[in-house]
Amino acid sequence: MSSVLITGGAGFLGQRLTRQLLERGFLAGPDGHPRAIDRIVLADVVAAPATTDPRVVNLVGDVADPAFAARIVDIDTTSIFHLAAIVSGMAEADFDLGMRINVDASRLLLDVSRGLGHQPTFVFASSIAVYGGELPSEVLPTTALKPQTSYGTQKAIVELLVGDYSRRGFVDGRALRLPTISVRPGKPNAAASGFISGIIREPLNGETAVCPVDPETRVCILSPSRAIDCLIAGHDVPARTLGTDRTVNLPGLSVTIGEMVAALERVAGSEVGGRIRWAREPKIERMVSGWPGRWDATRARDLGFPGDDSIDAIIRAHIAETQRA
């Protein structure tokens, strides 16, 4: 049996990934050949929405609990998508919680896999926040990691663990650095980057959005659909192609906040764009300004990871998806 584990399976990305894997029906095995997905285990602190698909198993629990980790990873677990995390703002506000979920739970999953000895493919959702401080205009793969938040530090720690556990042959790991995902549907969360979705989502819903940074602030974004495509591509890229470097900067679209607002007005009209209120917040500005606004994703593109064409296309896709919902 081939079983896929998705931690954070009840979340936004977890649910989208589940739907795409169910539709696809397979992932690449260690030999590169397609391997049918017999079961998808969704692990989260809350239950994922019910589904009639018999391949889906919903397990509710704490990923940092050794007993729960032993339930969700077994000898049939061929693939792990580790998406569960405490987001940036919350990890900054509650250091212990961030360390427990973002670091301790990650190592626990790696150690359970190590103990079973079956070397699953381990896809870790890392973040642009591993960078920070004084950055070049374009971040390169060789740019040193100097995270300026607890969240970024925690993600960087797990990247190193994934690399070392892969080197030792305990897992076949790959750490994928995600740009800011935009546009996220639903309600705002505690992420420092949440406004990057909010300034598009809320005005389209007829609501006022508050933008806490200067219009010239440059950010690196990836649409939800491309993020899921990249997670699957990251799983399927052969280990021999990755070599010893198991981290990949995913293709991100570099735009300023002002350019995002201009695109919103082009796509939806000036009345919609006028629903944005500018109120700078120094704390948010400090965090966001420490993240790359542009990075070199040549390696990702060479490996076949897809990116977005334009911010206009991202906004149109969000509108179309909202209308279908």
Residues assigned a catalytic role: 151
- CA quadruple 10, 11, 15, 18: dihedral sign: negative
- Give Cα 149 to chain centroid, integer Å: 17
Phi, psi torsion values for 207, nearest 5 degrees? -110, 160
Instruction: Report the distance separating Cα 170 and Cα 250, nearest Å.
Output: 24
Report the run of H or E that residue 249 belongs to, with start and end: strand 247-249
Q: How many CB atoms sit inside 10 A of residue 182's CB? A: 28
CB-CB contact of 116 with 39 (8 Å)? no
Neighbouring residues of 139: CB distance < 8 A, sequence distance ≥ 6: 131, 249, 292, 294, 295, 296
- Residues 126, 174: Cα–Cα separation, whole Å: 10
C-beta separation of 6 from 81 below 8 A: yes
Task: Identify the three-state secondary structure at position 22.
Answer: helix
* Neighbouring residues of 134: CB distance < 8 A, sequence distance ≥ 6: none
Q: How far apart are CA 2 and CA 120, in angstroms?
A: 10
- Extract the tokens encoding 53: 């698909």
In this structure, the strands spanning 180-181 and 209-211 are unpaired
Nearest in space to 245 (alpha carbons), one of 141, 154, 144: 141
